[in-house]
A and B are shown apart, each in its own frame.
Chain A
Amino acid sequence: MSEAILQTSEQLENDKYLVFRVGTSYYGISLSEIVEVTEKLDTVPTPNTPDHVIGVVNLRGEVITVVDTRHLLGQEKSESHLNFVIVVNTDKGKVAALVDQMIDVRQINKEIIEESTSSIQSEANSHLLGIAKAEDRLIYILRFKDFIQEALSRLNGER
């Protein structure tokens, strides 16, 4: 009995997603993956790093790397549109991802997430859990931490 209750509450937690916009597309990531969300911070560019790494920021005394999700998701590059930061914990510590706009936090039932079938979103495809249909739009559900982590590991190779 108690086991069943536990399971449900865990499921509920898992079903909460932060929805944000990058370029023309909407993405959802599980709340459990997120450390915090803030407005854009002052960024200092890093030398000799690939294009998707913008630089570093001071997050309350910690210096963390900032990546450009527009670039990673194959969207048109535009600094002025990136206004929010999502901080995730990776194996290499915290990393900040710049995104365009926060939409909301919503519950998305696992059942309505459809597994992706096509080759859309090639960059992120391997980390795409599925696509959820909301009222008027599609939300790409990402395994964000894995996605960011892989982008970072490419940081060493490309230089």
Chain B
Amino acid sequence: MEFEVDEELLDIFVTEASDSLEQWEAISLNLKKNYSADDLNKLFKIAHSLKGTSKSMGFTQLGDFIHKVEDLIAWVIRQDREITASESQFLLTTHGIMKKWLTGLQLNGNTPDVSEVLWTIGEYLKGEIENLDQLNTSNNMQASEAHAATETSQRTGIEFLKVRSDRLDSLIQIIGELSIHQSIITHSLNNNDVQSNNFKLAVHQAAKMTKEIQNESLALRMTEVRGLFQRLERTANDVAESLQKFIEVTITGADQELDRSVVEAIQDPLVHIVRNLVDHGIENEEIRVAEGKSARGQIQFVAIADAGGILLKLCDDGKGLDSEKILEKARQKGLIKDGTELSENEIHKLIFLPEFSTSEQVTEISGRGIGMQVVKDTIAQIGGTINIVSKKGEGSEFHINLPASLNMIDAVVMELQGNKYSIPLQELVEIVDLNNSKLEDTEESHPLLNWRGSLVPLHYLSNELILNQDYAVQREEGSLPQAAMIIKSNDNLLGFGVDRIVGHQRIIVKSINGEHENNDTLKGATILGDGKPSLILSLSDLSDRLKSNHRMEAV
């Protein structure tokens, strides 16, 4: 670092500069698609103000670098011509370099060496070099790394949130109203006037406002998927650039909202999928034209509101998944037995198995570390699901279902041995009243439930959860579970018997302090109206575990 800077000032500088860079990236991406002199002017302004703030913070080198970029933009504007492909790609490269710089400043003061870049721009402006491709290729990979590095640094440093001001205003307004009702309540209590209508009304209103505050404050954490899509577009662009492929990215539904933590969690998996789409999906130009497709590969990012959550679709119109190849590979690796018949969809699902990669040679782009299995697991961790729809020759679509917010879910609260547990509503197919259902005994330890014409294995949930028996209220001898929760896990139906259903509730998910992270059945906890904690259980995880136990017994 050039000299010591106050840490708080530095944080503010980095946050503001990151915002500017985000705009920079969006505009550059746009510029690459459609040239507009307006956009170029905007970039010039951003560069100008960034240069100013960098220099005033004492980061002269960064300032000098941005100055050079500013020169380049001014030079293009002066010539009154459209920007060349190599120049617009360079503007994206610049974004990567500046981003890396900011990360460096924040983490350890290590900043990238840009002397070569500065020199090349100088020569280019003088007309000594024809284009900037050399710079783009040598700095391209660095850019994606910088992206990854910033993500990590943002998690460690102080985080600044941008919040929509109208949401904050409405929150403050509700809190103001709440305090009025609160003073009515206090006043009535002091005057021993709890029977009055005023008092009752105030209590009722206060309850309503509290609920509103809860909703509004959660909304503060929501963010549009626009930023996420922008980053994915950037990735698609970078990958296409380095593979000499030509693509066009279309974005739909960028204004859908997700919780920030959801966006943070899925960013890396989605980047991996997009890399795969471009690398494995999109064919070379000649092949595409020969097959009667448009010369440019079409990549689509779509966000749709769906059943209390968001459905993201990442699509390409490339080769599609090759079922035969996947099958062959799966057989080779012994993942499936000979003679097993699998549906098209089941075959596609094989790519989510560990260490599965169909690309014959591992390319630098998609062959890095994380496989599709990690993608699936990460998405499952935050309560989402992923599916592939693919047709050979026509392209692939990844469908990712996500909860809009991690903090609040719809759940069914039920009772088990005197304690209340919550099950996410998302997991349940149906709740069945066992008093009015038929059970059929089997030789196995659990009966079968006759449910809508099919036989569903019914497990008594307390038997499957190993609870600390000393502290659980003992169930009366001979009493039977009153209700069954039916879930679907890997296309199989499974029932869990519980003592009693308490009700359906929207609950706030809290993490449990202490080391429970390896216990996948525990998804967190919530606090119920009676002040007692209630654990949130994942029945689908439990059923996976049951299945693997049975397999072990069979061996």
User: Which A residues lie at the B interface, using CB under 8 A?
Assistant: 42-49, 51, 53-58, 61-65, 77, 79, 90, 92-95, 152-153, 155-156, 159
Contact = CB atoms under 8 A, between A and B. Distances in A.
B243 interface: no
B470 interface: yes
A58 B466 contact: no
A63 B468 contact: no
Contacts of B419: 44-45
A61 B534 contact: no
Contact of A45 (B468, B517, B537): B468
Interface residues of B, number: 31
A95 B514 contact: yes
A64 B518 contact: no
Contacts of A47: 465-467, 519, 521-522, 535, 537
Given A47-B465, A47-B522, A48-B521, A63 B527 contact: yes
Contact of B470 (A48, A79, A90, A152): A79
B535 A56 contact: yes
Given A92-B513, A155-B516, A56 B521 contact: no
Contact of B532 (A44, A49, A51, A153): A44
Contacts of A43: 471
Contacts of A53: 468, 514
A37 B525 CA distance: 22
11 contacts: A44-B419, A49-B516, A54-B468, A57-B533, A62-B513, A63-B526, A65-B513, A92-B514, A95-B513, A155-B516, A156-B518
A129 to B, nearest CB: 24
Interface of B: 419-420, 465-468, 470-472, 510-519, 521-522, 524-527, 531-535, 537
A152 B243 CA distance: 49
Given A45-B419, A65-B515, A156-B518, 13 more contacts: A44-B420, A45-B471, A46-B535, A47-B466, A48-B519, A49-B516, A53-B468, A55-B471, A56-B512, A61-B527, A63-B525, A92-B513, A156-B517
B250 to A, nearest CB: 44
Contacts of B511: 63
Contacts of B472: 45
A79 B535 CA distance: 21
A98 to B, nearest CB: 10
Given A56-B525, A155-B515, A49 B468 contact: yes
Nearest to A87: B513
A64 B468 contact: no
A58 B471 CA distance: 16
B419, B510, B525 interface centre (most CB from chain A within 10 Å)? B525
A123 B510 CA distance: 32
Given A45-B419, A79-B470, A62 B465 contact: no
Given A45-B471, A63-B527, A152 B514 contact: yes
A44 B531 CA distance: 12
Contacts of A61: 510, 527
Nearest to A43: B471
A93 B515 CA distance: 9
A58 B519 contact: no
B533 A63 contact: yes
A44, A93, A152: most-surrounded residue (chain B CB, <10 A): A44
A83 B511 CA distance: 25
A58 B533 contact: yes
B470 A77 contact: yes
B513 A46 contact: no
B270 to A, nearest CB: 29
The 8 closest A-B pairs by CB, nearest first: A65-B514, A93-B513, A47-B465, A63-B525, A64-B513, A156-B518, A45-B468, A45-B467
A92 B515 contact: yes
A125 B225 CA distance: 53
B470 A65 contact: no
Nearest to A155: B515
A44 B515 contact: no
Contacts of A62: 510, 513
Given A58-B533, A64-B514, A65-B512, A48 B471 contact: no
Nearest to A58: B533
